[in-house]
Amino acid sequence: MIKARVTVTLKNGVLDPQGKAIEGALGTLGFSGVAGVRQGKVFDLEVEGTDSAKAEADIKQMCERLLANTVIENYSISMS
């Protein structure tokens, strides 16, 4: 089994109202000096097989076609 982690984040320049709300809440808790918060998503995938290169290529397609909306989001893949 091949394991991989996909991280999806909002592109720079795309407003993240949820991140802003979290940033505000951190300030309310007394954490001063938080200059910015961007919320993202993490997907942990288990892919059958042993061909890591093929799995990574497949996961890239999964990101392009479903896991990320590339209009507003970037993604990164980390194979473990």
Partner 1 sequence: MKSAVVLVPGLNRDRDMIAALTKVSGHAPATLWQTETTLPEGLDLIVIPGGFSFGDYLRCGAIAARMPVMRAVADAAKRGVTVLGVCNGFQILVEAGMLPGALMRNTSLKFVCREVKLQVANANTAFTRQYAPNQIIRCPVAHHDGNYFAEPEELARLEGEGQVVFRYAEGTNPNGSINDIAGIMNASGNVLGLMPHPENLIESAHGGDDGRGIFESVLAKAA
Q: Which is nearer to partner 1, 59 or 67 (CB)?
A: 67
Q: Which residue type is seen at 13? A: G
Of 71, 42, 47, nearest to 59 by C-alpha is 47
Give least dist CB 42 to partner 1, A: 13
Q: Where do contacts with partner 1 occur on this chain (CB under 8 A)?
A: 14-15, 17-18, 21, 65-67, 69, 71-72
Give least dist CB 5 to partner 1, A: 16
Q: Which distant-in-sequence residues (6+ apart) come within 8 Å of 67 by Cβ?
A: 6, 8, 43, 75
Paired strand residues for 64: none
Give least dist CB 35 to partner 1, A: 20
